Amino acid sequence: MSETAFFLEAARLVLSGALIGIGFVFMTGGALGMLRFPDFYTRLHAGSVSDAVGGVILIAGLALASWNPAVAWKLLLLAVLISASCPAVAHLSANAAHAGGLAPIAGAYKAARPKRSDPKR
């Protein structure tokens, strides 16, 4: 393997690793949002947006790292399908929840504050 081919291969793998890492960061943010947000609609937004964006970036990184071009094309097709289906599924879920009578939280959200264990206060 020539030196140029080695550096191109290394750059391809580093770029794919960076894309996979960025995708995981987006998906982790969505998972944290689903745990922290107060109602169904905000949780749905956090999950659907971050999974659509993070999943597409992650799968693009996997396609870039793939040795087989056929597998890379299949992964890119999967990324296109995810980017098309995630917003549609989120819209259908929100529509069904609204039709079922689930109201969003209106106004400021007042969560119960945890008690402080600090003896100075």
Q: Identify residue 11 by its one-letter amino acid code.
A: A
CA neighbor of 29 nearest in space, from 44, 43, 48, 46:
46
Q: Identify residue 114 by its one-letter amino acid code.
A: P
pTM of the complete model:
0.79
| Section 103-116 average pLDDT | 72
Residue 104 pLDDT level (bands cut at 50, 70, 90): confident
| Section 25-44 average pLDDT | 92
3 state DSSP class of 106: coil
| Contact assessment for residue 25 and residue 54, using Cβ atoms and an 8 Å cutoff | yes
The CA distance from 43 to 102, in Å, is 13
